[in-house]
Amino acid sequence: MTTQDRTQEPILEELPAAVVRPPRRFGLVWLIPLLAALIGLWLAIKAIHDAGPTVTITFESAEGLEAGKTRIKYKDVVVGKVESIRLSDDLSQVTVTADLQKEMEDYLTETTRFWVVRARVAAGEVSGLSTLFSGAYIGFEPGTNGAPAETFVGLEKPPSVTIDTPGSQYNLRAQRLGSLDIGSPVYYRQIKVGQVVGYAMTADGSAVDIQIFVQAPHNEQVRRNTRFWETSGLNVTLDTSGVRIDTESVMSLLIGGISFEIPANQPSEEAATEGDVFTLYESRDQVEAPVYAQRNYMLAYFNESVRGLNKGAPVEFSGIKVGEVVDVRLEFDEKKLAFRIPVLMAIEPERIAVKGDLKINRAELVSKLVAKGLRAQLRTGVLLTGQLYVNLSMFPDLPPQQVAHTGSYPVIPTVPGAAEEITAGIAAFVGRLEKLPVEEIGSELSASLRQIRQLIGSEDTVAAIAALRQSLAELQRFTATLNDTSVPQMNAALTQLRQVLARTESAVASADGLMSGNTALTYDLQQMMQELAKAGRAISVLADYLQRHPESLVFGKEEPKP
């Protein structure tokens, strides 16, 4: 590109020279790597900035987990991913390393929980079915308090209540767990409002503590006097009031559950605070049975069979329950060589409304009542099952009796029960029947018969029969004469009578024609009757109207509304 080159080539001299213009500025091409660098830098910064915490979770098994694939989800939003799965050093567990999003950093505390969500078909719940297709994922529940942590122990079962569910937790103390399990429903008025979240034996092993969680706003229904009872399965009760079948729902029939309510006879107290301890009753009956603090015990000795009288059978007074049978046993009196059945009854005096103030003491009251005729009686509650109950009743006709005492218990005298009365009546009847002098009656009867036979066979009888025959012959003769003389006269009299009757008939016929024919008289009569009937109807309408609108007497008849 030197000038010498050009001069040496004459052909080239003829070629036109290129046009020269001032050079342009720096190439825009460098913007591309600059842009690339900027994007790369931005990506790098973003990657560093977004890099969330790495956590280590230990599980019993890595079933369904896959490194690089399994997600960590919170409320079904992906918040992290499993990076690696290793066995722990002693091969007893699986250590899962997972990267979480940066936003989760603040929620990784001691209370943070991780669990594997797999398809679970357990009693009362079917969950995680979506994982059948998508594979398991790790559920995550953010922790809100406690020290920050990086290592966690994964739960084997999903927690039934997540921390963000509003509600309260309560403790129930029960004698046994029954068919309850974690996740068993808690019902209030048969609506599921919570569930069992845990249970543990008390430290001394004497009872079971069951933790339940009641969701808001139903937790407000848990008051300090709320009663909880177990609705496990089916509760069939057979007592004097018949057969009762209690169940809360089909679900609880299968898996059990807990119900709660404020007893109907109590006002609701202030709301319970979280963590309060309640007693878990075994059945609704136990809850609903009002608790009477005062119990007076009485004894009654029955001589009849008490088959069908159970512990807890009601003691009624005129059909109203006043207490229950506490104990039934058999006693043997060695001296008298006799058996008797003392029935211990608990009377709850609070069940009885007392008019005025009760001034006399209990023992005195009982003896006074017994003196007035208070007796105990066994009665059949349900005829079919033969359940018995104790009936207290006043029998003023019975001779007054004194109250005996066995130990500290007053003894109420007894009267035979209804069944016993019937039996006794039949027995008395049979006894009387037995006393009848059957043989005597028989011998007298045969003597009478013999006398009759003698009478028939005697001469007097024969003579009487001959006389009778004679009298009959005479009667025959008398009838014959009567035929010959009296009958023709009677015939004539009858003919005359017939003529009179015929005449009477024609007179009646003419009277009939007068009444029924189309004569003016009958027509007038009919008309008059019809008019009278109309008048009667009008009067009745008027009376009716007046009854409904008595004011029309003063204000006149109301104009009919269109």
End-to-end CA distance of the chain: 123
Angle between helices 438-457 and 459-516 (to 10 degrees): 100
User: Encoding tokens for residue 117?
Assistant: 């969500």
Position 107, amino acid: Y
Taking the least distance from each CB to another protein, the nearer of 19 and 493 is 19
Which structure tokens are listed for 302?
Answer: 């029955």
If the CB atoms of residues 37 and 238 are measured against another protein, the closer one turns out to be 37
Residue 30 binding another protein, by CB under 8 A: yes
Chain positions 57 to 76 lying near another protein, rule: CB under 8 A, are: 69
Q: C-alpha angle with apex 13: 10 to 15, nearest 5 degrees? A: 130
102 binds another protein (CB under 8 A): no
> 8 or 54, CB closer to another protein?
8
Report the nearest approach of another protein to the CB of residue 119 (Å). Answer: 12
Size of the site for another protein (CB under 8 A): 34
Q: Which is nearer to another protein, 24 or 469 (CB)?
A: 24
Where does this chain touch another protein (CB under 8 A) — which range of 5-13, 53-61, 157-165, 514-522? 5-13
Contact predicate 163/144, CB 8 Å: yes
Q: Which of 33, 328, 281, 272 is nearest to 178 (CA)?
A: 281
**Residue nearer to another protein on the CB measure, 19 or 467:** 19
Q: Decide: is 29 part of the binding site for another protein (CB under 8 A).
A: yes
> How near is the Cβ of 33 to another protein at its closest, in Å?
4
Options 31-39, 229-237, 325-333, 389-397: segment touching another protein (CB under 8 A): 31-39
Give min distance, CB of 74 to another protein, in A. Answer: 16
**23 lies in the binding site for another protein (CB under 8 A):** yes
Tell me the pairing of strands 258-261 and 227-230. antiparallel
Stretch that binds another protein, among 127-135, 145-153, 409-417, 426-434 (CB under 8 A): 127-135
What Cα–Cα distance (Å) separates residue 334 from each residue in 280, 304, 337, 339? 46, 19, 5, 9
Cα separation values, 1 from 4, 5, 225, Å: 8, 7, 110
Do 236 and 162 touch, CB atoms closer than 8 A?
A: no
Contact 271, 252 (CB under 8 A): no
Taking CB under 8 A as the rule, which mask of x and - marks residues 178-217 in contact with another protein?
----------------------------------------
Decide: is 12 part of the binding site for another protein (CB under 8 A). yes
- CB neighbours (10 Å) of residue 527? 10
Token duo for residue 295: 């119990």
110 forms part of the interface with another protein (CB under 8 A): no
What sign has the CA pseudo-torsion 275, 276, 282, 288?
negative
Question: Among residue numbers 132 through 151, which ones bind another protein (CB under 8 A)?
Answer: 133-135
Return residues touching another protein (CB under 8 A): 1-2, 4-6, 8-9, 12, 15-24, 27, 29-30, 32-33, 35-37, 39-40, 43, 69, 130, 133-135
